[in-house]
Structure 1
C-alpha cells in the first residue's frame, strides 16, 4: 500500500505548519533582543547577558528535558511550551510598551525561551516517527530542516523591521505566532503512549541512560564527535569571516547578504536532501558536507566581496541537510520510542555546546592572529575532522536507511 504524501498527511502538515509560523516569530524576537536590550539599558554587555541566558538555559535543560519528554505526553509538552512562551513574551511586550521593562525581566524571558526550546525540540523529534511512516521519515527530517532555514531568513529580516515600529512589537508578534502554533497543535493527533510515573529522583539515572545509549552505539558516538569538532571550528570560522569582512570595509548590507546566503543554501540543500539520501551511500552523504567545507573554507582568504562570500556560504550549507537527514533518520529508526526524547536531548546539548564555544574560539583567534591566519587555522581544523570522517571505519560502514527500516 502506497503511503499518503506528506503534503496530504494531516498530522504532519499541522506539526510542520505550526512550527513554521512559530520559528519566524522566534527568529524575529531573537534578532530584536540585543537591539532592544541595548536601547533600554545602554549596555552592550547586557545584550550579551540576555543572549547568554537563552543559550545557557537551553544547555542546562537539555539533558533533563529529554528524559522528561520520554516520561510525559509529548503533545502536551509541546502545547505547554508554546503556551508558556506566549505568556512570557506578552509580559515583556507589555512591559516595553509601558516603558517599565528591566534587565532581570528580559533575562528571565530569554531563559524561559531557551528552556522551552530544550523541551520542545526533543518532544517534536520523538513525535515525528509517530506522525510519518518510516519510508517518509528522511523526507520529513529534510523538510523540517528547510522549515528552520526559511524561518531563520524570514524572521531575521522581519525582526529588524518590527523593532523600527516599536521595541515591544517583535515580542508581541512572536507571542502571536506561539498562540497560532498552540492552536495548530491542539488539532494534532498522535497515538497514545504510556506515561511514566517514576519518582523524580530517578531522573538522573534516566539521563545517564540516554548518554549511555548514544555512547554505546559506535555510529552515534562517531557522528557526535565529528559534529562537535565541525561545529566548533565552523562557528569560530563564521565569526572570523564577519570580523574579517568588516576589517576589509565590506558594507553592512553585503554582510547581511552573506549571513542570509547560509539560509538560502540550507533551504536548497533541504529540498534536494531526500533525493541525495536515496541515491548515495550514507558515508558519502555524511562526508560530502565535510569535504565541501574543507574545499570552500580557505577560499575566503582571497574573497573581498560580500556577495561572493555569500555564494561561498551557500555552497558550504548546501550539503549539510543531506548529512543531517542521513544521521537523524538513522538515529530515530534505531532508537526505541521510549528513548527518543533522551536521544534528541543528548545530541542537542552536545552539538549546542560546540556551537556556543565556537564564537569564543573565533574571538580569541581574531585577537591572536591576522585575519587570513585565523581563517586558515579554522579551515585546517575542519580539514582534520574531514580526514577523520573519510577514513573512519564505523562511518564507512554506516548502515543504509532501507537496511535500518
Structure 2
C-alpha cells in the first residue's frame, strides 16, 4: 500500500544462462549493496530535510515547500528520465545521478554547519535529490536486469524489498540521532552513501551500454512509446491501474493513523513506534516473500493485501491503545513486501530490456501523481468529518480496489516465479 508497483514483457532474453546465480554474482552484489546504502541515506535525509527546515524557519509551510520540491522534481523529470536511461550508458547514469545527489546534499551540510540555511537552497537541494533518484532508480533496475539470469529476477525483487524495508527501519532513527548531534550530520552521512553508490557502480564488470546511435529514439517519441507499451499490454495496464488505486487509499490510511494519534495527544515516541511496527512487519515479510510467491499468485496477493489491510485499518479507527495499534499496523502492512516483489518480478520480466527504463518511470510517475494527493485528501476528510469516519471510508474504498482484481482472471492465475522462469 505504500508502493505496490514497479514494472516490467515476455520476450525476455533467454541466452543469459552463462550468468552466475545471485549468491555468486559479484556484479549483482555490487549493485544491490550500492542501492542498499543509497536507500539508507535517502531514508536519513527524508527525515533530515523536514527537521532542518523546521529548526531553521519554525514554519510547517516551509517544510511543505521543501518536501513538495522533491516530489515535483520526481513528477516533472520522471518521464524524460526513463527515456534517457534507455538511451544512455547505465553505469555512467548511476554515477552521474549519485554525484548530483552528493553535491546537492553536501551543500546543505555545509550551509547547516555555517548556519546559513535558506528555504530556497533547501528546495533546490531537495529537487536535485528528486532528479538524482529519477535517474538512479531506473538505471539500477536496468543494470540488475542486465547482470542477473532471468530465473533470478523474482529473488532479485525479493532482495530489493528486504533492503527497502531494512532502510526504512534503520534510516529514520539514525538520521534523527545524527541530527541531534549536529544539524548537518545526516546530510554528511547521505553524501557518504552517494559516494559508496558511485564506487559500487564503477566496479561492475558487466558492460551496461545504451543502444547504438542508430537505434535511439528521439526523446518525445521514446516517452510516448513507453506509455504506449505500458497501456497497450493488458497485463501491465491492469497492474498499473490497480496499483495506483491501492497505493492511494493505502497511503491515505497510513497517514490517517499518524494524524489521529496526534489529535488524541499520543506521545511522539508511541507514534514513532507504530511507524516502526510497519517497517518491522515489512522486513519480516520480505524474508518470507520467497515462500509466499511460490504459493500465491500475483492476483491473490493483490487481493489479500488490501483486504487484510483494510480490516486492520478499520480496527485502528476504534482503538486508542498504542501497543494494539502497533499490532494492527503490522498486520495491515505485512503482505506489502511480497506483493511488491511479485509485481516487480512480473513486470520486470515482461518489459523488453530496451524499454524498461521508460516503462518503469512512466509507471512510477503515474503512481506518484495520485499517491501524492493521498495525504492532503485524508487530511481534508479528517478535518471535515472526523478521523474515524475518514478512515472507515478509505478502508471500504481500499477493499473495493482490491476486489477489482477479480475482474482480471489472468492475474489471479499468474505466478511471479513461474513467469520469470518460463
| TM-score of Structure 1 vs Structure 2, range by shorter chain | over 0.9
Match of residue 63, structure 2, among 44, 47, 52: 47
User: Is 2:204 the counterpart of 1:204?
Assistant: no
The residue that corresponds to 1:319 in the other structure is: 335
Pairing 1:339–2:384 present:
no
Q: Which residue, 355, 365, 371 being the options, matches 1:355?
A: 371
Match of 1:258 in 2: 274
Is 1:24–1:152's contact at 8 Å kept on the other side of the alignment?
yes
Please give the residue correspondences for 1:148-187 in structure 2 after superposition, counting only pairs within 5 Å.
148-187=164-203
Shift of 1:193: 3.8
Verify the 8 A CA contact 1:89 1:174 in the aligned structure 2.
yes
Q: Distance in 2 between matches of 1:283 and 1:30?
A: 32
* 2:324 maps to which of 298, 308, 311: 308
Contact 1:222-1:394 at 8 Å conserved across structures? no
User: What does residue 283 of structure 1 align with?
Assistant: 299
Partner of 1:388: 404
More helix by share: 1
In the alignment, which residue of structure 1 is the partner of 2:78? 62
- Does residue 130 of the first structure (1) align with residue 146 of the second (2)? yes
Q: Which residue of 2 aligns with 1:32?
A: 48
Stretch deviating more after TM superposition (100-109 or 294-303): 294-303
Match of 2:30 in 1: 14
1:95 alignment counterpart? 111
- What is the root-mean-square deviation in Å for CA atoms of aligned residues? 2.0
Pairwise CA distance, 1:341: 0.3
* Mapped pair 1:80 → 2:96: yes
Please give the residue correspondences for 1:138-149 in structure 2 after superposition, counting only pairs within 5 Å.
Answer: 138-149=154-165
CA distance in structure 2 between the partners assigned to 1:211 and 1:107 by the alignment? 29
Instruction: Please give the alpha-carbon distance, in whole angstroms, between the structure 2 residues aligned to 1:53 and 1:191.
Output: 34
2:7 paired residue number: none
Alpha-carbon distance in 2 for matches of 1:219, 1:299: 33
Aligned residues of 2:19 and 2:148 also touching (Cα < 8 A): no
For structure 1, which segment, 274-283 or 76-85, has the greater mean C-alpha deviation from structure 2 after superposition? 274-283
Q: C-alpha separation between the residues in 1 aligned to 2:348 and 2:207?
A: 17
Report the Cα distance in structure 2 between the residues aligned to 1:4 and 1:71, rounded to whole angstroms: 27
Task: Say how many residue pairs are matched.
Answer: 405
Partner SS state of residue 302, structure 1: coil
Q: CA deviation at 1:232?
A: 1.0
- Compared CA separation, residues 158 and 202, structure 1 to 2 (3 A): same
**Inter-partner Cα distance in structure 1 for 2:118 and 2:125:** 11
In structure 2, distance between residues paired with 1:38 and 1:69: 35
Q: In structure 2, how many angstroms separate the alpha carbons of the residues matched to 1:204 and 1:385?
A: 33
Tell me if structure 2 keeps the 8 A contact 1:24–1:151. yes
Q: Say which of 99, 106, 119 aligns to 2:122.
A: 106
Task: Check the 8 A contact 1:224/1:347 in 2, yes or no.
Answer: yes
Unpaired segments ≥5 residues, structure 2: 1-16
Residue 293 of structure 1 aligns with which residue? 309
Contact 2:101–2:191, Cα closer than 8 Å, also in 1: yes
Offset of residue 189 of structure 1: 2.2
Q: Where does structure 1 lack aligned partners over 5 or more consecutive residues?
A: none
1:184 is displaced (CA, Å) by 1.6
How far 1:391 moved relative to its partner? 3.7
How far the C-alpha of 1:257 sits from its partner, in A, is 0.7
Asked if the contact 1:72/1:196 (under 8 Å) is kept, the reply is: no
> In structure 1, what is the Cα distance between the partners aligned to 2:61 and 2:266?
25
State the 1:365 CA deviation. Answer: 0.8
- The aligned residue for residue 120 of structure 1 is 136
Once the two structures are TM-superposed, the CA of residue 402 in structure 1 deviates from its matched residue by: 2.4
Q: Is the 8 A contact 1:27 1:151 kept in 2?
A: yes
Q: Residues 53 and 192 (structure 1 numbering): CA distance in 2 closer, same or farther, change over 3 Å?
A: closer
Distance (whole Å) between structure 1 residues aligned to residue 341 and residue 77 of structure 2: 25
Report SS of the residue matched to 2:218. helix
Under a length normalisation based on structure 2, what TM-score does the superposition of the two structures give?
A: 0.91
The question of whether the paired residues in 2 share the 8 Å contact of 1:126 and 1:344 is answered with no
After TM superposition, give the deviation of residue 294 of structure 1 in Å: 2.8
> d(CA) in 2 for partners of 1:228 and 1:185?
31
Deviations 1:107-135 (A, max 9, x none): 11000000110111111112222121111
Aligned to 2:10: none
Larger relative contact order (Cα-Cα within 8 Å, sequence gap ≥ 6): 2
Q: What is the aligned partner in structure 2 of residue 230 from structure 1? A: 246
CA shift for structure 1 position 191: 3.2
